[in-house]
């Protein structure tokens, strides 16, 4: 066999073997993530301390603002609590079926996807804590994403900014339905709105609960822009997500 043929065969074998390895990488991921969990914890802790030093002044100003906002919200909460109790009493009187509130598992973000447009975060809870693939993930501000992979002690969450994640949403004011998708940027886009859709800037968009993927009524974001689709067949709305998609530290995994 000539030298050229030998080289050709070995190149082909290398390419075939290489593509075989590439296809197996996703199966090796959960084990690799479990191994990296402790180093990720350490690096994440160091990052938090570093961020605290770098952004000291910003945090100081933010603290003052949040304290006053907190006092205002406490006041509002007391009023709303009264309304809530009254609502519960009235519902009982009318024999309405009580809506079951969901159980949540708190988790901490220990890593992010290495791509610039972070669309995946790694959390420190997994199968062992009851987290399963497909569960919704929220923050205290609103919907964050969905669990796409779960190993024994860590999970991968795809966040709303990823274009491959679609959420069925409704405009809270008018119950207009649409599909909310990520754009890899800072905003989300609500598609498939009819031309005559009753939607305005500053409208709040919540999960519709039409499918089992996301519980009903979780805040997705606020409408900041409305436009006509290129085909002129419908309209779209640009949504500012309620949750901070790029800097979230603590999340809640919703157990259905």
Partner 1 sequence: MKNKLKFLSYILVLGLLQATALDIFKVFNIKPDLLLIIAVIAALRYELKWAIIFSFAAGFFKDIFSAQNFGMNSGLFVMWGYLVYKANKEVSIDYDLIRLALMALVTALNFIFTQAILVYLGNYIPLGVFLRGIILQVIYTSLAFPILYKLIKDE
Which residues are near partner 1 by CB under 8 A? 18-19, 21-26, 29, 32-33, 36, 39-40, 43-44, 46-47, 50-51, 54-55, 110-120, 122, 148-149, 156, 158, 162-164, 181, 183-186, 246-247
Measured CA distances, 131 to 26, 92, 125 (Å): 19, 33, 7
Minimum distance between the CB of residue 150 and partner 1, rounded to whole angstroms? 13
The label of the residue with tokens 């992979």 reads 149
User: How near is the Cβ of 3 to partner 1 at its closest, in Å?
Assistant: 18
Which CB atom, from 163 or from 215, has the smaller least distance to partner 1?
Answer: 163
Task: Work out whether strand 120-123 and strand 155-159 pair parallel, antiparallel, or are unpaired.
Answer: antiparallel
Residue 79 vs 116, nearer CB to partner 1: 116
Q: What is the closest distance, in whole angstroms, from the C-beta atom of residue 159 to partner 1 in the complex?
A: 10
CB of 90 or CB of 184, closer to partner 1: 184
Q: Which residue has the tokens 């609960």?
A: 209
Q: Shortest distance, CB of residue 176 to partner 1, whole angstroms?
A: 21
CB of 219 closer than 8 Å to CB of 143:
yes
User: What are the start-end ranges of the E strands in the chain?
Assistant: 103-112, 120-123, 136-138, 143-150, 155-159, 166-171, 177-182, 188-193, 204-207, 219-228, 235-241, 250-255
d(C-alpha 148, C-alpha 156), whole Å: 6
Q: Which two tokens stand for residue 157?
A: 């969450």
| Cβ closest to partner 1, residue 120 vs residue 144 | 120
- SS3 for 159? strand
CB of 189 to partner 1, least distance (A): 8
Task: Tell me phi and psi for residue 23, to 5 degrees.
Answer: -70, -20
Quote the least distance from Cβ 2 to partner 1, whole Å.
Answer: 22
Q: With respect to partner 1, which residue has the nearer C-beta, 43 or 84?
A: 43
Contact assessment for residue 118 and residue 157, using Cβ atoms and an 8 Å cutoff: no
Nearer to partner 1 (CB atom), residue 94 or residue 114: 114
């Amino acid at each position: 066999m000539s030298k050229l043929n030998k080289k050709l065969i070995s190149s082909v074998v290398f390419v075939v073997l290489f593509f075989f390895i590439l296809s197996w990488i996703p199966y090796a991921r959960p084990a690799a993530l479990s191994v990296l969990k402790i180093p990720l914890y350490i690096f994440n802790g160091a990052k938090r301390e570093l961020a605290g030093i770098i952004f000291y002044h910003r945090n100081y100003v933010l603290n003052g603002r949040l304290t006053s906002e907190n006092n205002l919200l406490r006041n509002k909460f007391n009023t709303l609590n009264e309304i809530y109790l009254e609502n519960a009493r009235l519902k009982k009187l009318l024999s309405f079926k009580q809506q079951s509130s969901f159980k949540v598992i708190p988790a901490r973000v220990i890593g992010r996807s290495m791509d610039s447009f972070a669309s995946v975060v790694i959390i420190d809870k997994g199968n062992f804590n009851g987290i399963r693939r497909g569960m919704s993930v929220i923050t205290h501000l609103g919907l964050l994403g969905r669990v796409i992979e779960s190993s024994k002690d860590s999970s991968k969450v795809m966040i709303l900014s990823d274009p491959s994640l679609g959420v069925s949403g409704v405009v809270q004011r008018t119950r207009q339905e649409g599909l909310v998708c990520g754009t890899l940027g800072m905003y989300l886009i609500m598609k498939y709105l009819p031309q005559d859709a009753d939607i305005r800037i500053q409208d709040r968009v919540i999960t519709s609960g039409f499918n089992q993927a996301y519980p009903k009524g979780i805040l997705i974001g606020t409408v900041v822009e409305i436009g006509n689709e290129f085909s002129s067949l419908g309209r779209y709305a640009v949504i500012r997500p309620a949750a901070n998609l790029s800097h979230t530290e603590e999340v809640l995994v919703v157990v259905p």
